[in-house]
Amino acid sequence: MNNKINSISKALSLLTFMFMLSVASTSAMAEWIKLGGSEMSSIYANSSITPAKGNKVITWQIMDFSSAQVASGQKFLSIKSRNEFDCKKKQGAVLQSTLYSGNMGKGYAFNTDTTPSKSSSITPETAEELSWNYACGNH
């Protein structure tokens, strides 16, 4: 009886360890990739891209500013947004966005908008196009 309990205990410990390892490796794999920028700002995309319905993908991006911007009387240094891109139609929509007082989505979060924007054509030579190229080229 003790051998069965020890075997079950070892198996559960191994399963727990494997689960924790998979969670840790998944978190480590999702990282921010710099897509481009200027002296004023940089655009980053999360390496984790989620397939959506049809030819669409969903991904996170951060617009990071070198100096403070102002919205609703509050200063912010970054905007983190969740975007949906249609890879076939070359369109995009912002599903949600949040302003942050610190760089790279850190600090105080405010002005969260969870109302999806209407899908529109990607404007050439913009941060949006850099994000679309990355998301649609890597899914």
- Which tokens sit at 136? 């649609």
State the pLDDT confidence band at 122, using cuts at 50, 70 and 90.
very high
pTM: 0.76
Q: Determine the average pLDDT of the residues in 50-60.
A: 94
Q: Which CATH class is domain 32-137?
A: mainly beta
Q: Determine the average pLDDT of the residues in 36-55.
A: 94
Least confident of 15-19, 81-85, 104-108: 15-19
In whole angstroms, give the CA distance from residue 30 to residue 34: 13
Q: What is the mean pLDDT of the chain?
A: 85
DSSP 37-68: E-SSEEEEEES--EE-STTEEEEEEEEEEEEE
